[in-house]
Structure 1
Amino acid sequence: MIAQLIWRQAAGHRQDRRYLRAGDNTRVQLQPCGCDDEANMISADGPSTKSEETRDAGEKKRGRPPPEMLHLLSAVSVWLVTGTTISSLNKWIFAVYNFRYPLLLSALHMLTAIVVDYGLIKCRMIQHRGVGEQDLTTSAKCKVFLLSLTFCASIAFGNVGLNYVQLSFAQMIYTTTPLFTLAISTLILGKQHHILKYTAMMPICLGASFSIMGEVQFDQTGCLFVFAATMLRGVKSIQQSILLQEEKINSVFLLYLMSIPSFCILAIAALVLENWAALQSPFQYDQHLWGFILLSCLGSVLYNLASCCVITLTSAVTLHILGNLNVVGNLLLSQLLFGHELTALSCAGAALTLSGMIIYQNSEIIVAYIDARRARTPTGGSGEDVVCVNENDSSISETPEPCSEEELYADNQVHEKTD
């Protein structure tokens, strides 16, 4: 059920349409609409009927082949499990076993990613259709290196912050990532967003403020590290999207390229900054500690690989929507494993932040729904309804699709001139 909902949201394509204006008389007046997708044009061999198009669309929506559906379910399950448990596992290593080497743990994460991704690429289990490492330009290599700096810094700051703050508090701060992404893309890249996305920032900021004020064991140092990790996450998402779109690098191959310099940077930082004098012999630590560290490393790799699979099979928007489940799961695990106290102010902050995230991540769906509702209302006082039908379609659908606001405006301009 959840896989079908994910697929229906990710699927969907635009069709050529034109206006249909039906009045009190039987005369029908059609005007062509603009077309953005040439792939949906009817071939010269002959136009297809509306019933055939409806039947084909129904066959596509009924479901995927069993292997592909199982692949999607497996990817979503692995992503949810690893995304929910990885932060709790790291916090368990730091809090229960008093392992005070977050940079070393981050470096081990990167080393595991290098080994696993290299094996997948060499065994051809990952279909690499982008540019190869030898085909990368100097500019692309610089972008990958800068992304590696941001990537390893965000992971390191996040793990360092978990040494000082509660897991539930860190999760609430992480949910403000869209705020930094939106601010950076607007101020630096000059990209404009819909007003609904800016509106969604209000409950996110208010919720984060409530979470900070309601935190029982507030630590300023840990809060600064977590905020730095959150800001770097926003920068990383912008850098990653630029590389994937402009350089056409496969996402798994990009993860492999990022892991190499990230491991070197984190290993050097761990050697220089962390207190190795207090490090005991590996045999003196609890044997379960190394098992948890291994699980943490494998979980981080599986999380990134599952993210790539979910994005490939559905969309990035679907991945962000599922991310809300990870936040809720981490909050519940924080309560069960560590007994962290949540005040009423913290709960209110969590609710506000999650509501803002839902509005932000579903802004396009909300805008499309509002536009569709507006399009169904009569315009121009003529008492006539405006709907759209498919281009080159000889039949009229019984349940036609509403036109967009731009199409309605253009159609009204034509009728005002003819009147």
Structure 2
Amino acid sequence: MGASPPGTGSGRLFTVGLVASWYSSNIGVLLLNKYLLSNYGFRYPIFLTMCHMTACSLFSYASVAWLKLVPLQTVRSRLQLLKIAALSLVFCLSVVSGNVSLRFLPVSFNQAVGATTPFFTAVFAYVMTVKRESWITYLTLVPVVTGVIIASGGEPSFHLFGFIMCIGATAARALKSVLQGILLSSEGEKLNSMNLLLYMAPMAVLFLLPAALFMEENVLGITLALAKEDNRIIWYLLFNSSLAYFVNLTNFLVTKHTSALTLQVLGNAKGAVAVVISILIFRNPVSLTGMLGYTLTVIGVVLYSEAKKRSKSDISGKT
């Protein structure tokens, strides 16, 4: 028996449950990353990301090859494999940079900077594909960037290196989405997000393992020594890594069971929810200027999504 139709009461309840799972796993992994890297003192963001990718590798194989949640899509050529490897490398840079930034910045400011992803996506799309958006779409990016500038000026816990890392993570995330559209654009090469993760995650582990051993000296020995003193660290890492996979799984399911527009609206709201929860938990100081800046950025993102939707409907209306 399949899932209930979205229009029925049980179907709506199922969708609400999916969205709640997506929100809780996404915000949960973000807050736990912050706790481990900043409050708990586990200062190894590369190793932490490697744990995430190891869990994603194992769970992806179980979900796709064993449980068959989605049909298995095979890699058809060496060139396609190289393209996936390139995406995996950019993805690693994005996640590691984001985790590094959490060592120095509060989650609220991290989310404010992360909301500028549409700006970087538009820039990379223009540079790499010479794809022009309508002037009104570009105009909506002004409040997106202005809001972060205002939020930066009013952020009591501003840290320059953390800010640079956060900008790098946001840019890499946008680059990955644009590259994915370019590299896996042909019909024979398209992979759904679950299959893409199945191939990307093990590659990410191969990229991250030497980086962790070289840049985070004796991280395995330190983690084992820490586990002898406090075995909670093992449970933190296991739970955190499992949540990292659950974020990808629920994101895929929410995408499948809702429209693209609903996903954009929910994504914008999720950032705001994460900000409020992080402030309540970590009690990091916030200024009125910072909150105004973040609000302006979110308004800009909403306007950008609306402008993109209208330009697509105009194009489809002409064809």
Using the size of structure 2 for normalisation, the TM-score is 0.89
2:63 matched to which residue of 1? Answer: 120
CA distance in 2, matches of 1:220, 1:65: 50
Letter in 1 for 2:122: L
After superposing the two structures, state which structure 1 stretch, 206-215 or 246-255, moved more: 246-255
Letter in 1 for 2:80: A
Letter in 1 for 2:98: G
- Kindly provide the CA deviation profile for residues 1-54 of structure 1, in whole angstroms up to 9, marking residues without a partner as x: xxxxxxxxxxxxxxxxxxxxxxxxxxxxxxxxxxxxxxxxxxxxxxxxxxxxxx
SS in 2 for 1:163: helix
1:179 to 111, 115, 119: 119
Unaligned runs of 5+ in 1: 1-61, 372-403, 408-419
1:275 to 210, 217, 235: 217
SS in 1 for 2:104: coil
1:345 matched to which residue of 2? Answer: 289
User: How much has 1:245 moved relative to structure 2?
Assistant: 4.2
Which of structures 1 and 2 has the bigger CA Rg? 1
Larger strand share, 1 or 2: 1
The answer on 1:84 being equivalent to 2:23 is no
CA contact (8 A) 2:114 2:170 kept: yes
2:303 matched to which residue of 1? Answer: 359
User: How much has 1:63 moved relative to structure 2?
Assistant: 4.9
User: How much has 1:365 moved relative to structure 2?
Assistant: 4.7
The answer on 1:310 being equivalent to 2:254 is yes
**Size of the alignment, in residue pairs?**
309
Identity of aligned residues (%): 28
User: How much has 1:70 moved relative to structure 2?
Assistant: 4.8
Q: Quick one: structure 1 residues 124 and 289, their matched pair in 2 at CA, closer, same or farther if it must change by over 3 Å?
A: closer
- Kindly provide the CA deviation profile for residues 193-222 of structure 1, in whole angstroms up to 9, marking residues without a partner as x: 122220111101100101111111221111
- Kindly provide the CA deviation profile for residues 283-330 of structure 1, in whole angstroms up to 9, marking residues without a partner as x: 344333322222211111011111111222223333222111221111
Q: Quick one: structure 1 residues 172 and 285, their matched pair in 2 at CA, closer, same or farther if it must change by over 3 Å?
A: farther
SS in 2 for 1:279: helix
Unaligned runs of 5+ in 2: none
CA distance in 2, matches of 1:314, 1:365: 16
1:49 matched to which residue of 2? Answer: none
CA distance in 1, matches of 2:18, 2:300: 26
Structure with greater contact order relative to length (CA < 8 Å, sep ≥ 6):
2
CA distance in 1, matches of 2:135, 2:296: 19
Matched ranges for 1:241-252 at <5 A: 241-242=181-182, 245-246=185-186, 247-252=189-194
Larger helix share, 1 or 2: 2
User: How much has 1:168 moved relative to structure 2?
Assistant: 1.2
C-alpha RMSD over aligned residues: 2.4
Q: Quick one: structure 1 residues 341 and 98, their matched pair in 2 at CA, closer, same or farther if it must change by over 3 Å?
A: same
1:294 to 238, 242, 262: 238
CA contact (8 A) 1:79 1:307 kept: yes
CA contact (8 A) 2:94 2:172 kept: yes
Q: Quick one: structure 1 residues 366 and 188, their matched pair in 2 at CA, closer, same or farther if it must change by over 3 Å?
A: closer
User: How much has 1:110 moved relative to structure 2?
Assistant: 0.3
1:331 matched to which residue of 2? Answer: 275
CA distance in 2, matches of 1:188, 1:364: 19
1:132 matched to which residue of 2? Answer: 74
CA contact (8 A) 1:88 1:167 kept: yes
Moved over 6 A (4+): none
CA contact (8 A) 1:80 1:325 kept: no
- Kindly provide the CA deviation profile for residues 216-266 of structure 1, in whole angstroms up to 9, marking residues without a partner as x: 122111111111111000001112334554212232111110001101111
1:158 matched to which residue of 2? Answer: 98
After superposing the two structures, state which structure 1 stretch, 191-200 or 256-265, moved more: 191-200
CA contact (8 A) 2:83 2:183 kept: yes
Letter in 2 for 1:75: L
CA distance in 2, matches of 1:103, 1:69: 39
After superposing the two structures, state which structure 1 stretch, 159-168 or 360-369, moved more: 360-369
CA contact (8 A) 1:172 1:211 kept: yes
CA distance in 2, matches of 1:82, 1:68: 21
CA contact (8 A) 1:97 1:289 kept: no
Q: Quick one: structure 1 residues 285 and 241, their matched pair in 2 at CA, closer, same or farther if it must change by over 3 Å?
A: farther
CA distance in 1, matches of 2:204, 2:32: 21
1:321 matched to which residue of 2? Answer: 265
1:149 to 67, 85, 89: 89
Letter in 2 for 1:156: V
CA contact (8 A) 1:172 1:353 kept: yes
